[in-house]
A and B are shown apart, each in its own frame.
Chain A
Amino acid sequence: MIHFTVNGKPHSVDVPKDTPLLWVLRDHLRLTGTKFGCGESFCGACTVHIDGKPAKACSVEVGGMAGKSVTTIEGIQGAVIEALRATWAELDVPQCGYCHSGQLMRAAALLAGNPKPSDEQIDTAMNGNLCRCATYQRIRDGIHAAAQRLSA
């Protein structure tokens, strides 16, 4: 039995310790907003926050999660994600949308640590999050617009 917190609620799961956090979130807790894209931490579709830091859930074993706190796209709250969601809507950033839970979780972590990132800082922070629809330009613009909103 592994005990940890997901989106503020305590959870206990009885699964092999090498099970990736991603499949625990999806298969066991039915939090399907966190996506499977590659299973090898190459694409970032599974980005969540563990104790406030962005992490790729496909490459984190649930055995190491005891006592930790996980936040997913379903549970993230606060001014930063609200600003990002607002600019995502304003600019209609997603196309197929599959990678955007991960994009938003990564972008929220960026803005939490750097309220006014440059293009280059955005590109560096977001480079691990793939989008096959190539919505990158709007992601960049959306992050800038959210930063502006937060500083207003």
Chain B
Amino acid sequence: MNTLQDPARRDFIKAGAALGAGLTLGFHLNSARAAKLSLPTPAGEAFAPNAFIRITPDGAVTVLVKHLEMGQGVNTGLPALVAEELEVPWKDIRVESAPADHTLYNNLLWGPMQGTGGSTAMANSYAQLRKAGATAREMLKEAAAQSWKVDRAGLKAEAGFVIDPASGRRLSYGQLAQAAALLEVPDQVELKAAKDFKVIGKGFKRTDTQAKSDGSALFGLDLYLDGMLTAVVARPARFGDKLKSFNTDKALAVPGVKAVFATPAGVAVVATDTWSAIKGREALTLEWEPGPGAGLSTESIFASYRDLAKKPGAVARDDGDATKALAGAAKKIGAEFEVPYLAHAPMEPLNCVAHVKEDGCDIWTGDQFQTGDQRNAAQVLGIAPEKVRIHTMFAGGSFGRRANTQSDYIVEGVAIAKRMGVPVKTMWTREDDIHGGFYRPCYLHTLEAGLDDKGHPVAWKHRIVGQSIVAGTSFEGGMVKNGVDHTSVEGASSLPYAIANLHVDLHSPKLPVPVLWWRSVGSTHTAFATEVFLDELAHAAGADPVEFRRKLLKEHPRHLGVLNLAADKAGWGKPLPTGWGRGVAVHESFNSYVAEVVEVSVKPDGEFKVERVVCAVDCGIAVTPDVVKAQMEGGIGFGLAAALHSAVTLKDGRAVQSNFDDYRVLRMKEMPRVEVHIVASEAPPTGVGEPGVPPIAPAVTNALFAATGKRLRKLPLGTKVV
């Protein structure tokens, strides 16, 4: 779930790669296997040369997508890879979510697990799905070659047909499907050269827009099964509290309420319909035993973090001698940055439909960690993981919330469904979501730097204080090295600027507030602290912020490439209206490079508006250029919500905010004009779901400094500079 360049992650990646080899060996998926996997097998002999493609005699080509479609476009970008190699017209491609299966569908970059995250869907599928498509293409050609008694090498695949140019004969993929299904799967196939691409990098449409415009797209919450009941759960308002006693009488008296019982998380109210369940929960009388989080407040947390920040932490990076260089610097500056807890608040509140039967369990949800959730659900039920069948639905956003190694909302739903013996939809209200924890942690950053007499930075000391996301999870072994959780420091420990003496260290205090990754993970806060502080150095050196960065990025051509492109397209240096300011930030995350130039307008009373954002992105080959643009636009809007508005604050152990009135996110009026420019590249594709987010908060902050001379160092900024 973090950048893959980190040496500490190599073992982890190797484990994933080894599994990739296993996948290749198990590439052929015969019909018996398909049946065992409960793959949806249509009537007639389907040609399923591998776990990703199915061609039926009627000519339909179905691509099975192993990742979760949560808006980022996997149901478009991944089928595009197959369409390219298989030579199928885009309009003829059908898309289905793959079932959960760790032998077939692992994430090849950070598995062993079938899961979506770390902006890896395209990066880990690029070779896999192109090979899958090319294999099917060659087998269809072989089937035609045998039928015509000619050599396969002389045949062409084009637009769903195999063609013999010598004779002009042609057979459709549908006509060839049954014969192709009987052939051996070749080990080696040739992939197309980039110059021959017809789909990759071209303009084509998403596969899900129509269903998402007429109400027919099915999200987890939209599933209704015969005899299904609906459950909501009363969870403790303070993190770590335990249930002391509860009275169910009034709740059970609410018409429609069928059952009320304690679960590990709280008290479940199960009813015939949603409103009855919600009213039943309101009628509960509950008493909680205060837990370790009872006295927590945002103030007390930051006070303890400030104490911690006075002491050295676990070292994440140590180049040269930063302490000595700082002592000898001509000019020294220091600053402190603060970011709050953040809820993910996807538009679709969490939910899970589960049906526990004698032969196993079916789960329908927008599932982000399919095989992890499968294993955790199996453990709750005391059955084998393969008896848990995951049906991945569209997710109405996630932003990291559904990628939880504890599978919190799924194991809870499964336990309730087991007790009831009928299908149960366990759903969260918005208040449950905002109060429910698994937040992006709050962090304190302290930075010190020194400039020499020419204004060149010679020392950089950066200390980070905040909870570890992966501590205590199955990712800990791979992601925490020498006491440093990579997800807490990524973006800071990978600072690209040429500063000879550079020290980054980390404190990871433990608190009873559950935390989780949030779209762009460590870079959500490290980019803010480092890119604002670098701007402060530029100012202290009397240098232009873009020029200052250029000089320090000479060894980093891809950072430099996006910086120059964004500055150029934004008209960096050109005059702006009175009261306006321009700011820049550049940051790498998930192996993609993004620069954003922001223009803000500030009224005399300090009220400001983000007017324009010019974004440049280098994500290797842009397989789906319009999806890349959409992800940058959306990432910027998502990041801007946190930059301006969003915060979960704690008081007496409780989250103060509860819905979109006080947990504020971006609204239409605040969306700036966004222009996205993609750097042309032949490098393999890297992430796009997350990398648009990190630069926006620092770029806005730097633009506000340019407009007002006021340096803001705490998020959220609000909409007024005072």
Binding site for B on A (CB under 8 A): 15-16, 19-20, 23, 26-28, 30-40, 42-43, 45, 72-74, 84-85, 88-89, 92-101, 104, 122-124, 126-140
Query: Please, how many angstroms separate the alpha-carbon atoms of A135 and B210 in the complex?
Result: 16
A101, B633: Cα distance in complex, Å? 20
- Which of A88, A122, A138 contacts B213, CB < 8 Å? A88
**Most chain A CB neighbours (cut-off 10 Å) among B205, B213, B638, B641:** B213
B274 touches A27 (CB 8 A): yes
Q: Is the CB of B634 within 8 A of A40?
A: no
Q: How far is the CB of A148 from chain B (nearest CB, A)?
A: 18
The number of chain B residues touching the other chain, given as a range, is 35 or more
Q: Which residues of A contact B637 (CB under 8 A)?
A: 131, 133-137
Please give 14 more A-B residue pairs, beta carbons under 8 A apart, in addition to A98-B396, A132-B345: A27-B274, A30-B224, A37-B349, A39-B659, A40-B430, A40-B660, A43-B660, A94-B206, A96-B394, A122-B668, A126-B668, A132-B638, A133-B397, A134-B635
Q: Which of B210, B222, B429, B673 contacts A89 (CB 8 A)?
A: B210
> Which of B67-75, B372-380, B566-574 forms part of the interface with chain A?
B67-75
CA A71 to CA B274, docked complex, whole Å: 21
20 sample A-B contacts, Cβ–Cβ < 8 Å, listed by A number:
A23-B274, A30-B224, A33-B215, A42-B659, A92-B630, A93-B213, A95-B73, A97-B208, A128-B667, A131-B347, A132-B347, A132-B399, A133-B71, A133-B397, A133-B637, A134-B640, A134-B641, A135-B637, A137-B637, A140-B668
Q: Give the contacting residue for B255; candidates A16, A40, A133; CB below 8 A.
A: A16
Task: Indicate whether A92 sits within 8 Å of B348 (C-beta atoms), given known contacts A27-B273, A30-B224, A74-B215.
Answer: no
Q: Is the CB of B633 within 8 A of A97?
A: no
Other-chain contact of B215, A34, A128, A136 (Cβ < 8 Å) = A34
A137 touches B346 (CB 8 A): no
Contact residues of B with A, CB < 8 Å? 70-73, 205-206, 208-219, 221-222, 224, 230, 255, 273-275, 345-349, 394-397, 399, 429-430, 626-627, 630-631, 633-638, 640-641, 659-661, 665-669, 671, 673-674
Tell me the complex Cα distance, A95–B675, Å. Answer: 18
Chain B nearest CB from A131 CB (Å) reads 7
B672 to chain A, nearest CB (A): 8
Complex CA distance for A136 and B630, rounded to whole angstroms: 11
The answer to whether A42 touches B661, judged by C-beta atoms less than 8 angstroms apart, is: yes
Cβ of B630 and Cβ of A135 under 8 Å apart?
yes
Q: In the complex, what's the smallest C-beta–C-beta distance from A39 to chain B, in angstroms?
A: 6
The interface residues of chain A lying within 8 Å CB-to-CB of B215 are 31-34, 72-74, 101
CB nearest neighbor in B for A95: B71
A43 to B92, CA, bound (A): 36
Q: Which of A73, A123, A132 contacts B346, CB < 8 Å?
A: A132
> Of A26, A37, A92, A127, which one neighbours B205 at CB under 8 angstroms?
A92
**Distance in Å from the Cβ of B229 to the closest Cβ of chain A?**
11
Contact for A104 among B213, B224, B348, CB less than 8 A: B213
Q: Is the interface of B mostly helix, strand, loop or mixed?
A: loop
Query: Which residues on the B side are within 8 Å of A85 (C-beta)?
Result: 210, 213-214
User: Inside 8 A of B636's CB, which chain A residues have their CB?
Assistant: 134
The answer to whether A134 touches B213, judged by C-beta atoms less than 8 angstroms apart, is no
**Which 4 residue pairs of A and B lie closest in terms of their CB atoms, listed nearest first?**
A33-B215, A134-B637, A98-B396, A97-B212
Contacts of B667 in A (CB 8 A): 127-128, 130, 136
Q: In this complex, what residue of A is CB-closest to B671? A: A136
Evaluate contact between B668 and A36: CB separation under 8 angstroms.
no
Cβ contact of A27, chosen from B275, B394, B669, cutoff 8 A: B275
Nearest-CB distance from B270 to chain A (Å)?
A: 14
Which residues of A have CB within 8 Å of B669? 123-124, 127
Contacts of B430 in A (CB 8 A): 37-40, 43
Q: Is the CB of B665 within 8 A of A130?
A: yes
- Chain A residue at minimum C-beta to C-beta distance from B205: A92
Is A33 touching B216 in the complex (CB atoms < 8 A)? yes
List, in ascending order, chain B residues with CB within 8 A of A132's CB: 345-347, 397, 399, 638, 641, 665
Contact A123 B668 (CB under 8 A): yes
Whether the pair A136, B668 counts as a contact (CB closer than 8 A) is: yes
Cβ contact within 8 Å between A37 and B274: no
A15 CB to nearest B CB, Å: 8
Contacts of B631 in A (CB 8 A): 95
Pair B671/A134 contact, Cβ less than 8 Å = yes
In the complex, which residues of chain B have a beta carbon less than 8 angstroms from the beta carbon of A26?
222, 274
The reply to whether B666 and A134 form a contact with Cβ atoms under 8 Å apart is yes
A93 CB, nearest partner CB in chain B, Å: 7
Contact, CB under 8 Å: B213 / A95: no
The answer to whether B275 touches A134 (Cβ under 8 A) is: no
Q: Is the CB of B349 within 8 A of A36?
A: yes
Given A40-B430, A88-B213, A92-B209, answer yes or no on A98-B668 (Cβ-Cβ < 8 Å). Answer: no
Please give, as numbers and ranges, the residues of chain B lying within 8 Å of A94 by CB-CB distance.
71, 206, 208-209, 212-213
**Distance of A48 Cα from B29 Cα, bound (Å):** 46
Bound-state Cα–Cα, A20 to B349, Å: 17
Q: What residues of chain A lie closer than 8 Å to B635, measured between beta carbons?
A: 134
Closest Cβ–Cβ distance, residue A45 to chain B (whole Å)? 6
Q: Which residue of A lies closest to B396 (CB)?
A: A98
Collect the chain A residues with CB atoms within 8 Å of residue B346's CB. 96, 98, 132
Bound together, the chains give a CA A34 to CA B230 distance in angstroms of: 18
Contact indicator A96/B661 (Cβ below 8 Å): no
Q: Assess whether B660 is in contact with A97, with CB atoms less than 8 Å apart.
A: no
Closest to A24 in B: B275
Q: Which single member of A32, A72, A139 contacts B222 (CB below 8 Å)? A: A32
> Please, how many angstroms separate the alpha-carbon atoms of A99 and B222 in the complex?
13
